[in-house]
Amino acid sequence: MYLQELFVLIIMQRDTITNYKKGNLFMQVTLENEKENVVKLDITVPAKEAADAYNSAVRRISQYVNIDGFRRGKAPREIVERHVGVERIKQEALEGLMPKVLNQAIDENKLDVITQPSITSYNFTVGEDLKVTTKVETRPEVTLGEYKNLTVDVEDSPVAEDALDKALENLRNQHAENKIVTDRATVDTDIVKIDFDGSCNGEKIQGGEAKNYSLDLGHSNFIPGFAEQLVGKNLNDEFDIDVTFPEDYHDEKLKGQKATFKIKINEIAQRVLPKLTDEFVAKVGPFQTVEDLKEDVKKYLNEARENTNKNNSENEVFKKVIENASVEIPQSMIDREAQSLLAEYKNRLSAQGISWEMLTKANGEEELLKNLNSDAETRIKNSLVIDKIAKVEGIQLERADLDKKFAELSSAYRISQQDLFKQISKNPEILSSLSQQAMNDKVRDFLLANNTVNIVEPKKSEKVEEK
């Protein structure tokens, strides 16, 4: 039931205007093409239709306002007008009438709109024709170049010679044990537990101290030079180390500053990797022998190679199709998309504890905004070309396409499909995005099937001879 409802909701979201069509209105519409892809519509709605909408608005409002001396819904029109005001009723009437009016005007004039219409002016006097002026943005015309029977070369992504050995080594590392040692000094592969207390320019560093902190000396993300100075130390050693904070450190007070940390070694442990035996592999997976594990890893590596080649092939074919297509994208579309990308970017930065102000200070706001505008233009062109190909080739979304996309999301976020449906069905933007992603996948599959891709040997990197 949930997937069927989701399918219906997503298909509805692909329409810019909700369809209220229950019998056409007898209205007049005059179109005027303005700059770029903006169309102005002068709409005249007959007086009777406008009056009916006004009276319906009176009845709706009277249902939820309290008017002394009258039960809800029973107050006469004149009383409701005095109580809430004529202009408020007109607004309610327009909200009820305009979706149907605009939908009919767009449908009858075969306008491919990409934004919700904006009402720029109206003249609403009860008993007279309603006159409304609205503007809509229409989809830019895309001229497709060659998009079928193309031939592209894609470099192979071969499995590295040492890929199997690295995969097996990673597996052993995942199941390594830490063995406490007391009879030697630390080495750069050890894991130590330390107390540390830092100071800079004679002042304690805020957040620069800890007790019994576990630090992997071989994979430290501490200040450069910190972990290295802990090598060669013995259990219970107490000593000072000097470091310099990087110039791009996030704390302004510490950028490029020298600091001293008091250190005490509380524990030394070495990573002990398990031996690659039949007994070990039986514990980590459905394998009986080491050879079984190796065959499984080889299969995974080959599948990864095939998937990479497929993705690269799709990208190269699509890149060629985009290059062959032409479209004039209005600046208004680019600006809206850039604002959307900026909001997404800021959210990602915030999740990483970085503010937009910090980023612009380091990289320059003008350059960042320029890149966002370029990305926005690329994204719009890609979307327009995909929609055009889908229209020309009669490619339509089917239930199975959305089922697949929905299952992918459910698996990625590890929640049931019913719970996922409940969440995304409340957000039209997510539904629209899901629909677009599914269509993108379908068109890209179509392009891959209707063009030729040659998987070629990767180019050998040229070594620069030392002088």
187 vs 405 pLDDT, higher one: 187
283-456: CATH superfamily: Trigger factor, C-terminal domain (1.10.3120.10)
pLDDT bucket at 20, cuts 50 / 70 / 90: very low
pLDDT(10) > 80 = no
Q: Which of 337, 453, 446, 311 is nearest to 391 (CA)?
A: 446
For tokens 């699509």, name the residue. Answer: 318
Q: What is the pLDDT of residue 2?
A: 41
> Position 326: which residue type?
S
The runs of H, that is alpha helices, within 65-193 are 77-84, 86-108, 163-174
Q: What is the pLDDT of residue 261?
A: 96
Quick check: helix, strand or coil at residue 401? helix
pLDDT bucket at 21, cuts 50 / 70 / 90: very low
Q: What is the pTM of this model?
A: 0.67
Q: What is the pLDDT of residue 366?
A: 81
Contact 199, 221 (CB under 8 A): no
Query: How many whole angstroms separate alpha carbon 437 and alpha carbon 401?
Result: 10
> Position 332: which residue type?
S
75 vs 298 pLDDT, higher one: 298
Query: How many whole angstroms separate alpha carbon 25 and alpha carbon 54?
Result: 15
pLDDT(18) > 70 = no
Query: What stretch(es) of the chain map to CATH 1.10.3120.10?
Result: 283-456
What is the percentage of the chain residues whose pLDDT exceeds 90? 49
Query: What stretch(es) of the chain map to CATH 3.10.50.40?
Result: 177-272
pLDDT bucket at 23, cuts 50 / 70 / 90: low
Query: How many whole angstroms separate alpha carbon 439 and alpha carbon 441?
Result: 5
Highest average pLDDT, of 104-118, 139-153, 344-358, comes from 139-153
Q: What is the pLDDT of residue 235?
A: 96
The maximal CA–CA distance of the chain, rounded, in angstroms, is: 100
Please compute, for residue 30, the number of CA atoms within 13 A of its CA located in the half-sphere on the CB side.
5
Q: What is the pLDDT of residue 418?
A: 77
Q: What is the pLDDT of residue 263?
A: 97
pLDDT(205) > 80 = yes
pLDDT bucket at 150, cuts 50 / 70 / 90: very high
**Per-residue tokens: 269:** 């442990």
What is the domain class of 177-272 according to CATH? alpha beta
Q: What is the pLDDT of residue 428?
A: 65
Q: Which helix (H) or strand (E) holds 40?
A: strand 38-45
pLDDT(410) > 90 = no
405 vs 310 pLDDT, higher one: 310
411 vs 243 pLDDT, higher one: 243
**Per-residue tokens: 34:** 């303005």
pLDDT(347) > 80 = yes
Mean pLDDT of the chain, nearest integer: 86
Query: Worst-scoring range by mean pLDDT, 224-228, 320-324, 426-430?
Result: 426-430
Query: How many whole angstroms separate alpha carbon 334 and alpha carbon 163?
Result: 43
365 vs 239 pLDDT, higher one: 239
Please count the other Cβ atoms lying within 10 Å of the Cβ belonging to residue 420: 20
pLDDT(6) > 50 = no
User: Average of pLDDT values for 243-253?
Assistant: 88
For tokens 């997937």, name the residue. Answer: 3
**Per-residue tokens: 185:** 């000094």
Q: What is the pLDDT of residue 138?
A: 87
User: Average of pLDDT values for 349-356?
Assistant: 79
Helix, strand, coil share (%) of the chain residues, nearest 5: 50, 20, 30
Q: What is the pLDDT of residue 16?
A: 36
Give the pLDDT confidence of 263-277 residue by residue, as tens digits.
999 999 999 999 999
Query: How many whole angstroms separate alpha carbon 457 and alpha carbon 153?
Result: 10
Residues 302-320 as b or e (16 or more Cβ within 10 Å = b) = eeeeeeebeebbbebbbeb
Q: What is the pLDDT of residue 462?
A: 53
For tokens 């006097």, name the residue. Answer: 125
Query: Worst-scoring range by mean pLDDT, 230-244, 383-397, 411-425?
Result: 411-425
Query: What stretch(es) of the chain map to CATH 3.30.70.1050?
Result: 16-139
Query: Worst-scoring range by mean pLDDT, 148-152, 183-187, 344-348?
Result: 344-348
For tokens 């909700």, name the residue. Answer: 18
Please count the other Cβ atoms lying within 10 Å of the Cβ belonging to residue 59: 12
pLDDT(3) > 90 = no
Query: How many whole angstroms separate alpha carbon 366 and alpha carbon 360?
Result: 8
For tokens 């029977």, name the residue. Answer: 149
Give the pLDDT confidence of 38-53 residue by residue, as tens digits.
899 999 999 999 999 9
- Supply the DSSP string of 206-272, one letter for each residue: EEEEEEEEEEETTS--SSTTTGGGGTT--TT-EEEEEEE--TT-SSTTTTT-EEEEEEEEEEEEEEE
| 347 class by beta-carbon count within 10 Å (0-12 exposed, 13-18 middle, 19+ buried) | exposed
Close Cβ partners of 166 (under 8 Å, ≥ 6 residues apart): 160
16-139: CATH number: 3.30.70.1050
Q: What is the pLDDT of residue 416?
A: 80
User: Average of pLDDT values for 225-249?
Assistant: 94
| 281 class by beta-carbon count within 10 Å (0-12 exposed, 13-18 middle, 19+ buried) | buried
Q: What is the pLDDT of residue 37?
A: 82
**Per-residue tokens: 289:** 């022998």
User: Average of pLDDT values for 337-364?
Assistant: 81
User: Average of pLDDT values for 314-334?
Assistant: 92
360 vs 428 pLDDT, higher one: 360
Query: Worst-scoring range by mean pLDDT, 128-137, 199-208, 324-333, 429-438?
Result: 429-438
Q: Which of 205, 225, 227, 204 is nearest to 214 (CA)?
A: 227
For tokens 């229409």, name the residue. Answer: 138
Q: Which of 336, 325, 192 is nearest to 271 (CA)?
A: 192
Beta-bridge partner residues of 42: 30, 133
User: Average of pLDDT values for 6-17?
Assistant: 41
